[in-house]
Amino acid sequence: MSYSVYVAKIEQIEPHPNADRLNIGVVLNNLVIVSKDIQEGELGLFFLPGGQISSDFLEPHDLYERKDENGKKTNSGYFQRSGKVQGISLRGVKTDGFWFSLNKLKSPWEKSYFQEGMVFSQEEDHQYITLKSVDLQLARKVQSEDVATRKSGGPNQSKPKKIKPTLFGFDLHKDTPRYTEQKAWIDRHFDVDTKLIITEKLHGTSQRTGRPFALVKPSTWWQKLLAFFGLWKKGSYPLRVGTRKVNLPESNEFEDIKSGYCGSNAFRYAAIHSFKDKIKEGECIYHEVVGWAGAKKIMGDHDLKKVGYKSGKNIYTYGCKDGEAKSFVYRITQYDKKTNTTKELSWDELQIRCKELGVPTVPVVAYGRANPDYCPKTQMLHWKGFSLASNDPSKIEGGPEIMEGLVLRFEDPKFFKVLKLKCTEFSIMEGAQKAKKTYEDIEEAEQAKEDESI
């Protein structure tokens, strides 16, 4: 039987449970992992494991794995020089093949040439491909036969299955889009009913703290049967802590866990000590932790001379004493096991809940309707020019001379959106700091550390 490549749509896209830069999708009943920019319904080329892709295709599309002199990956490609297609595991999720979007094809390949249902058959030497057109029904039939082979212990190792999370109500941090990238969309959609809350963007490290519903793994046959039909609901609500994308080990005593970029994540647990026992079942608190990670500042100082000051440092400890870390809340969600839904608290609800928890929110810079005639003059927003985004000092006592930026939270009966806007002078200082060989950013370092474990 010759090896074939299929032109097929990607369907059932959902977030990767352990990687916020990746998605999971299904192509002809096979599980694949793709980047966040892929949209459901896109057409692409699907390669099953066992075949070989020519260098004529892999090279121009940058699909070979490349590493620098220190052995660190420098691109997103993962193919070895052999070009062999393999099912790989990415953070606990195993792929059933390789899918490549037609939208990413480069010349001389033409997207318009390919149609859904086409099949490329491989020739004997695995070097050339001829084209024949079949209907999608035939392509699906071939794949169904392959799935049946896998069920009976054939050459492919595992049955494709939908990945389900074990923690409910403990979603990873969402990447906040920039205002400059979404401004046109907002201009089209906001009206007098749109509530706008502008808060200070703190320069710290993001954290999730909550009591998510942890589903107990079924063990008996009848429990597994209930789980198959989605009726297995037994679980608990343990206290859990996570970074932007990593769930830290469960710990009842919050001991000094040696797993963080700073050598220990103890500062994360110290920052929630005052409110951890007040968190409700199913509730997740999203907060920025600022100050110190043990004997090290969470975020290093910036040189104010880079933006015209005669001297001085922009310090991001926000009034924390040496060794102290504080939390400032900017988002709260509440998971309901009965309905399997998660509620996003409005800003008004969030402020009430934070008072109950005894923890501060991020500072509010302006609050009102997104209509300048409605807002008090002191809170007026020059919408088109965005004059409010000046290089002001932090609203927190002991905070930096120049704040990192602003976060815009739009609450509307028709939509909910959160955007960020960095201050110009902060960006200049940050750029100069990143140019130094000694530069360290805790979130970027943790991100790189996690990526290396793929």
Between strands 11-16 and 19-27, the pairing is antiparallel
Please indicate whether residue 254 or residue 120 has the higher confidence score (pLDDT).
Answer: 120
CB 441 within 8 A of CB 203: no
The pLDDT value recorded for residue 371 is 53
pLDDT tens figures, 329-366: 999 999 998 888 899 999 999 999 999 999 999 999 88
Residue environment code for 76-105, b if the CB has 16+ CB neighbours within 10 A, otherwise e: eeebeeebebebeeebebebbbbbbbbeeb
Please indicate whether residue 214 or residue 387 has the higher confidence score (pLDDT).
Answer: 214
Query: Can you give the residue ranges of every domain in the chain?
Result: 4-151, 179-452
pLDDT tens figures, 137-150: 333 333 443 433 33
| CATH code assigned to 179-452 | 3.30.470.30
Q: Residue 404 has what DSSP assignment?
A: -
Q: Cα-atom radius of gyration of the chain, to the nearest Å?
A: 25
What's the pTM? 0.60
Report the DSSP beta bridge partners of residue 157: none
The pLDDT of 14-37, averaged and rounded, is: 83
The pLDDT value recorded for residue 192 is 65
On the question of pLDDT at 374 being above 60, the answer is no
Q: Write the Ramachandran bin of 106: left for phi over 0, alpha for psi from -120 to 50, otherwise beta.
A: beta
The pLDDT mean for the chain works out to 75
pLDDT tens figures, 44-81: 888 887 777 777 778 788 888 776 667 666 666 777 77
Question: In whole angstroms, what is the distance from residue 289 CA to residue 331 CA?
Answer: 13
Neighbour order of strands in the sheet with 364-369: 364-369, 195-201, 405-411, 416-422
Cis ω on the peptide bond leading into residue 218 (within 30° of 0)? no
Report the DSSP beta bridge partners of residue 241: 209
pLDDT tens figures, 202-238: 999 999 999 999 877 777 777 677 666 666 677 889 9
